[in-house]
Structures are given as structure tokens and as C-alpha cells.
Amino acid sequence: MSINTQPTASHYIGGAYVEDTSGAPIDVVYGATGEVIARVHAATPAIVDRALEAATAAQKTWAAMSGTERGRVLRRAADLIRERNRELSILETYDTGKPLQETLVADATSGADALEYFGGLAASLTGETIPLAGGDMVYTLREPLGVCVGIGAWNYPTQIACWKAAPALACGNAMVFKPSETTPLCALKIAEILTEAGAPPGLFNVVQGMGEVGAALVTDPRVAKVSLTGSVPTGKKVYAAAAGEMKHVTMELGGKSPIIVFDDADLEDAVSGAILGNFYSSGQVCSNGTRVFVQTGIRDAFLKRLTERLAGAVLGDPLDEATNFGPMVSEGQIGIVERYVRLGIEEGAELVTGGARIERDGYWMPPTVFAGVTDEMTIAREEIFGPVMCVLDFDGEDEVMARANATEFGLAAGVFTRDLARAHRVVRGFEAGTCFINSYNDAPVEAPFGGVKMSGVGRENSKAAIEHYSQVKSVYLRLSPLEAPF
């Protein structure tokens, strides 16, 4: 299947494609080859204004519909996404470089799950009745927030657009979404599909641009809520800007998550977890378990088996479904990874495998493993956001828990052990929002996803997301006589 990667126009506003070539050009580069595959233009202030106007108008129509009707639109969109999964997955592969083998099962399908799940919930978002003395009562109304802004990172452009749009729209909000400037293509398709599914024009709008377009959206008084997926430094700026007008926020930020492998772990499962938690999407996953703490009794066996299993990585044309490891998203990102590899070597970590950029077109860095990593090394402290695994040794449980939690981040954490009591004790001790026992990086829509500490505020997916896209109005109803002091 061949697809056209150049979108009809840069933005999608009011149910239609909109162009304004006076905005700065943004070239879309395919990570596998370095070729420019599309060009869009950053939103001008007039485009931002038009998107917010369209969203403001659509939100009123949408909120007046019943939850059942809203849910039907979202579920129809989920069905359309599934029908077009291959086409959407190919576009995701061009946008990000991720292999088609991955995008066919992890991106549009995950977006469809979110639309289906929140479409199903939309009709049952109700308030409660609270009885009081004397027959009085309070009832609550669960109301939308208004116009929500979604701002995306570049690693999961379809999934991020859907994970934000689905709960927002289910609750009766409208959305203006700004994709990452690195991956501007996929969200436009989701906007098209929502319109086709029956969403009123303006309900879900997409505007392109760099950080300043995001900043203009965040500070606009018409916006009630901002949901960002991005790095901690951007999160701090966006959170601070949103605070100026007391806007609601969801912050899905970065991490440096631990995976702890005890001596009694199933070795194959532990190696699988470490591979999934470091090399899926070429390591460009926020929740990756990039600090792999391995108990000294199993260390050598773990490294041996890991090295053997890495021989199964197939680097090649991402559109060939046999390829299971793709390029980095951009020249900028591979440059960051190369710098960290240099720092790892300089600071004394042992490079077990990988580490050198592959000399071919595009941005190719093989799976890279450092052993003998210590807690104070830069590669053990900072988020790299690439295919670089740090293996650290440990002896005892108390020691490893203290070390695992000694980070400003708190997105995810995993433990591999056959001892169930220990597994539960360890996850209770983790300072992280999303934990895994004998698994890693699963993200079903039914489960809350998000971080603690610097990794974020709020939760995406599950019923928990409803709290972040709606507010409760309390209505006091007096049935007894009303007394006053005079």
C-alpha cells in the first residue's frame, strides 16, 4: 500500500483543512532515510485564533448532546480507525520512523481503544445525590471544562492525539491539538476521521507549530485546560503558564524508570522486560525502564542472555514487516543519544554492545547496553530517550529500593521475581505512577497511566482521566424552611 505523506493542508479547523503559508515552514523528515516527505506551516496568530473560535462554538453544541450521542460518535471514529489501521500505521511509520511491525499493533489501534473506551463511558458520566438533614439534599452535575488544549510529543503522534481527545470529548469538551513539530502528520488524520464519524465542525482541531504556538494556546483565556505530553523542562514552563489563569493541567512528562531483576526471576521474562523497556520504538518511550538493576547472582547470566537475544534485532526498512528495530526520529535526537554514549564511556561504564551510529542514510543507532553503571553516572541520572540500557548491579532489596527511588522522576517502575510477597512489597515501595510485576510497558486503556514527582500531574486513560476533563457542580436543594438571623 502506498500512501501520500503530504497532507491536504497544514491545519484542520472547523471540520476542514486550512492553509496559511505565511506561517514558518516545517519540513517533515523520514527518520529511516533523512528524506523530506512533507511540508507544513506553523500556525500564525490568525490560525490559532480561528481554531480557538471554532472549538469554542463547537463545544456548546457538543455539550448539549446526550452522552449516548457523544459516545456513538467516538465509537464510530474507533471503528473507522480500525478499518484504516494499515494506512494509518504506514503514516505513523513515516511520521516517526517506527517499524510497521510495531505501528500496526501499538498506535492507531491504541487510539481506537481510547475512543471506544471513552465512547462507552460517555453516557454514564453522572453526578450523585447527597441526602442531608431535614430532607434537604445536594445533587452534583458533572460538567465539561470547555475548550481543552492538547500538546503532543513526537514518539506516539496518533496515540497521544487520541489519548487526549477521547476523554476530553467524552466529557463534552472541545479540543485544539498541537502535534509535535517533528511529527505533524498523524493527528490530522484523526481530525478527519472524527469529522467523518459525526463530530460537529470545530470539535477537534489541529494546528501545527513549534513551542511558541503551544505557548500561545496555553495562555489564551478561552482555554480551560491544557494536557501536555513532553519533557520535564517543557512541562515546567507549560504548568507555570497555565497557573496564571488557574487552568486545569495534565502533565505526562519524562522518566528514568527502574527495572529490578532479582536472582529468582525467570531469566527469559526478565530479559524480555528489559528489551521491551529499552528498545521498543528504538527506546523513544517515556516510561522506559532504562536503569536495569540486576542482582549480582544473576548478573552474568542476564548479560549473556541479553546479548544473545539482541542478535534478534532486525534493523532495516521500517515498512518491511520483518524489521523490528527502526531509526531514531531525527538528527537532533540521535545527536543527543550519541552525546550520552560518549559520556557513558568517559565516566567509566562498560559498553557491552552498540553505541556507534550506523553509517547509512537516516538516523540509525543500534540497541546499546552499558554494564557496570553506577548511580552517579550521567547516563544513570538523565533521560536519554534512545536505545540505551544501563545495567546496574545490586545485592539487597533495601539497598536497591533506595537507589531505584533516588531520582527526580517517577513515571514507571518494574520488578522481576518469582517471590510474590516480595513483588508486592517492592511495588508498594516504588515512587512511580505506573508499576509492573514480571512485565513491562503494557498500557491498556482500562488502566490509569501517569507519573509522580517530576514525571507528571494527573492521569490519562481509565476512569481516572474523567476527573481531569470534567468538573463537579454542587447544587444545594432546600426542602425545609429557610431560617435567617433577622
State whether the Cα torsion 427-430-434-439 is positive or negative: negative
Q: Quick check: 231 binds ligand NAD (CB under 6 A)?
A: yes
Q: Which is nearer to ligand NAD, 364 or 409 (CB)?
A: 409
The residue from 10, 227, 229, 278 that contacts ligand NAD (CB under 6 A) is: 229
What lies within 8 Å, CB to CB, of 381 at 6+ separation is 256, 375, 407
Q: Quick check: 254 binds ligand NAD (CB under 6 A)?
A: yes
Q: Quick check: 218 binds ligand NAD (CB under 6 A)?
A: yes
Q: Which is nearer to ligand NAD, 174 or 411 (CB)?
A: 411
> What x/- string results for residues 143 through 182 when contact with ligand NAD is judged by CB under 6 A?
--------xxxxx----------------------x-xx-
Q: Which is nearer to ligand NAD, 178 or 468 (CB)?
A: 178
- What minimum distance in Å lies between the beta carbon of 196 and ligand NAD? 25
Separation of alpha carbons 168 and 174, rounded Å? 7
Separation of alpha carbons 287 and 277, rounded Å? 8
229 DSSP β-pair partners: 252
**Helix or strand or coil: residue 417?**
coil
In the bound complex, which residue of the shown chain has the CB atom lying closest to ligand NAD? 214
Q: Is 331 a catalytic residue?
A: no
The residue from 72, 86, 237, 453 that contacts ligand NAD (CB under 6 A) is: 237
- CA 300 vs CA 352, 370, 377: distances in Å: 12, 13, 21
Q: Which is nearer to ligand NAD, 24 or 123 (CB)?
A: 24
Q: What is the DSSP letter of 483?
A: P
- What minimum distance in Å lies between the beta carbon of 195 and ligand NAD? 23
Q: What is the DSSP letter of 292?
A: E
Q: Quick check: 238 binds ligand NAD (CB under 6 A)?
A: yes
Q: Quick check: 448 binds ligand NAD (CB under 6 A)?
A: no
The residue from 65, 210, 267, 437 that contacts ligand NAD (CB under 6 A) is: 210
> Are the C-beta atoms of 13 and 47 separated by less than 8 Å?
yes
Beta-sheet strands, E only, within 57-108: none
> What x/- string results for residues 383 through 412 when contact with ligand NAD is judged by CB under 6 A?
x-x-------------------------x-
> Are the C-beta atoms of 409 and 454 separated by less than 8 Å?
yes
Q: Which is nearer to ligand NAD, 78 or 328 (CB)?
A: 328
> What x/- string results for residues 260 through 299 when contact with ligand NAD is judged by CB under 6 A?
--------------------------x-------------
- Which of the following is catalytic: 92, 116, 252, 383? 252
Separation of alpha carbons 43 and 55, rounded Å? 16
C-alpha cell at 68: 449516548
State whether the Cα torsion 174-178-184-186 is positive or negative: negative
Q: Quick check: 211 binds ligand NAD (CB under 6 A)?
A: yes
- What minimum distance in Å lies between the beta carbon of 215 and ligand NAD? 4
What is the residue-wise DSSP string for 136-198?
-EEEEEEEE-SEEEEE--SS-HHHHHHHHHHHHHHTT-EEEEE--TTS-SHHHHHHHHHHHTT
Separation of alpha carbons 113 and 395, rounded Å? 41
Q: What is the size of the binding site for ligand NAD (CB under 6 A)?
A: 29
For ligand NAD, which stretch binds (CB under 6 A), given 72-80, 214-222, 290-298, 350-358? 214-222
Q: Which residues are catalytic?
A: 252
Residues making contact with ligand NAD (CB under 6 A): 151-155, 178, 180-181, 210-211, 214-215, 218, 229-231, 234, 237-238, 252-255, 286, 383, 385, 411, 451, 456
